[in-house]
Structure 1
Amino acid sequence: MNVGAFLTKAARLHPAKIAVADGGIRLRCDEMNARAAAFAAGLSLRGYAPGDRVVLFMPNRADYLVALFGLFKGGFVAVPANAKLHASELGFIVGHCGARAVVCSEKSRAVVAAALAGLPGVDQIDADGAGAGSFAAVVEGGRPQAAADAEVAPDDLAWIFYTSGTTGRPKGAMLSHRNLSAMTMNALADVCDFQPEDVVLHVAPLSHGSGLYALPSIARGATNLIAGGSFDPDECLRTIARERVTIIAFLAPTMIHMLLEADPALKVPELRRVPYGGAPIDPGLAEAAIARFGPVFAQLYGQGESPMTITGLRPQDHRGRALLSAGTVRTDVEVRLVDEAGGPVPEGAEGEICVRGEVVMRGYWNDPAADAKALKAGWLHTGDIGRFEDGYLYLLSRMNDVIISGGSNIYPREIEDVLMLHPAVREVCVFGEPDGKWGESVTAAVVAAAPVGADELQEFCRRHIASFKKPKRIAFVEALPKNAYGKIVRREVKAALSGG
Structure 2
Amino acid sequence: MEYPLTVRDFLDRAVTVYGERTAVVDEPDQPAAPFGTDGRITYAELGRLARAQAANLEAMGVPVGGRVAVVSHNSARLLTSFFGVSGWGRVLVPINFRLSVPEVKYIVEHSGAEVLMVDPELKHLIDEVPSKRSYVLGQDDDELWGGDGEPTDWEGDESATATINYTSGTTARPKGVQMTHRNLWLNAAVFGWQASVSDRDVYLHTLPMFHANGWGMPFAATAVGAEHIVLRKVDGAEILRRVEKHGVTYLCAAPAVVQAALDGAKDWDGEVPGRDRVRIIVAGAPPPTRTIERVREELGWEFIQIYGLTETAPLLTMSRMRAEWDDVEPAEQARLLGRAGAPAVGVRVKIDESGEVLAQSNHNLAAYWENPEATAQAQEGNWFHTGDGGSIEDGYLTIADRKKDVIISGGENVSSIEVEDVLISHPAVREAAVIGVPDEKWGELVTALVVREGEVTEEELIAHARESLAGYKCPKKIEFRDELARTATGKLQKFKLRQPYWEGHDRQVN
Structure 1 and Structure 2 fold alike (TM over 0.5): yes
Which of 159, 174, 178 is equivalent to 2:178? 174
- Given that residues 18 and 29 in structure 1 are in contact (C-alpha distance below 8 angstroms), is that contact kept between their aligned partners in structure 2? yes
The secondary structure found in structure 1 opposite 2:221 is helix
Confirm or deny that 1:267 pairs with 2:279: no
234, 237, 245: which is aligned to 1:234? 237
Q: 1:21 to 1:480 in 2, by over 3 A?
A: closer
* Corresponding residue number in structure 2 for 1:289: 295
Residues 18-63 of structure 1: per-residue CA shift (max 9 Å, x gap): 1111133110000000100110011001101011111110111111
1:127 is matched with 137
Q: SS where residue 69 of structure 2 aligns? A: strand
Task: Please tell me the root mean square deviation across aligned C-alpha atoms, in Å.
Answer: 3.2
- Counterpart of 2:12 in 1: which secondary structure? helix
Q: Which residue of 1 aligns with 2:24?
A: 20
1:145 to 131, 147, 150: 150
Q: Deviations over 1:344-374 (max 9, x none)?
A: xxxxxxx211111111110100001101110
Residue identity in the other structure for 1:384: D
Partner SS, residue 258 of structure 1: helix
For 2:134 and 2:155, locate their aligned partners in 1 and report how far apart those are by CA, in whole Å.
Answer: 27
Q: Is the contact between residue 215 and residue 314 of structure 2 (CA under 8 Å) also seen in structure 1?
A: no
Asked whether the 8 Å contact 1:2–1:73 carries over to 2, the reply is yes
1-side partners of 2:83 and 2:198: how far apart?
19
1:144-163 matches, cutoff 5 A: 144-146=149-151, 148=153, 150-163=154-167
- Equivalent position of 1:75 in the other structure: 89
Normalised to the residue count of structure 2, the TM-score between the two structures is 0.75
Residues in 2 aligned to 1:401 and 1:152: alpha-carbon distance in whole angstroms: 42
2:207 counterpart of 1:201: no
CA distance in 2: counterparts of 1:432 and 1:63, whole angstroms: 44
Contact 1:198 1:223 (8 Å CA) reproduced: yes
- How far apart in 2 are the matches of 1:60 and 1:304? 18
| Runs of 4+ with >6 A deviation | 402-405, 468-477
Match of 2:107 in 1: 93
Deviates most, 311-320 or 374-383: 311-320
Aligned counterparts, 1:330-409, within 5 A? 330-340=344-354, 351-401=355-405
Deviation string for 1:307-345 (max 9, x for gaps)?
Answer: 2211121134781542442111111111111124xxxxx
* Residues 6-27 of structure 1, C-alpha deviations (whole Å, 9 max, x = no match): 1111001011001111133110
Distance 1:269 1:320, change over 3 A: closer
Name the SS for the 2:146 alignment partner: helix
Offset at residue 68 of structure 1 (A) = 1.6
1:176 is matched by which residue type in structure 2?
T
CA shift, 1:183, in A, is: 0.4
- Tell me which amino acid in the other structure corresponds to 2:255: P
Among 179, 187, 191, which residue is 2:191 paired with?
187
C-alpha separation in 2, matches of 1:124 and 1:437: 44
CA separation of 1:33/1:320 partners in 2, compared to 1, >3 Å: closer, same or farther?
A: closer
Residues 367 and 400 of structure 1: is their aligned pair in 2 closer, same or farther, counting only changes over 3 Å? farther
Equivalent pairs, count: 416
Residue type of the alignment partner of 1:390: D
Shift in CA distance, 281/241, structure 1 to aligned 2, threshold 3 Å:
same
- Post-superposition Cα deviations, 1:445-495, rounded to whole Å, max 9, x if no partner, equal xxxxxxxxxxxxx9xx9xxxxxx9699879977x8685xxxx2343x4xxx
Contact 2:56–2:149, Cα closer than 8 Å, also in 1: no
Q: Summarize the Cα distance change of 1:257–1:387 in structure 2 as closer, same or farther, 3 Å threshold.
A: same
Deviations 1:367-388 (A, max 9, x none): 0110111002321111111111
Distance across 2 between alignment mates of 1:471 and 1:386: 20
Q: TM-score, normalised by structure 1?
A: 0.76
The separation in 1 between residues aligned to 2:392 and 2:176, in whole angstroms, is 30
After superposing the two structures, state which structure 1 stretch, 105-114 or 374-383, moved more. 105-114
- Partner SS state of residue 285, structure 1: helix
**Identity between Structure 1 and Structure 2 (%):** 28
Listed as ranges, the matches of 1:28-43 within 5 Å are 28-43=42-57
Report the alpha carbon displacement of residue 282 of structure 1 after superposing the two structures with TM.
0.3
Instruction: Give yes or no for contact 1:383–1:398 (8 Å, CA) kept in 2.
Output: yes
Aligned partner of 1:305 in structure 2 is 311
Contact kept, 8 Å, 2:204 with 2:248, in 1: the verdict is: yes
1:243 aligns with 2:243: no
C-alpha distance in structure 2 between counterparts of 1:328 and 1:202, whole Å: 25
Paired residue type of 1:221? G
CA pair 147-480 structure 1, distance change in 2 beyond 3 A: closer
Q: Is the 8 A contact 1:166 1:401 kept in 2?
A: no
Structure 2 portions without partners, runs of 5+: 29-37, 326-331, 407-415, 421-432, 436-443, 454-482, 486-491
Q: Which moved more, 1:309-318 or 1:3-12?
A: 309-318
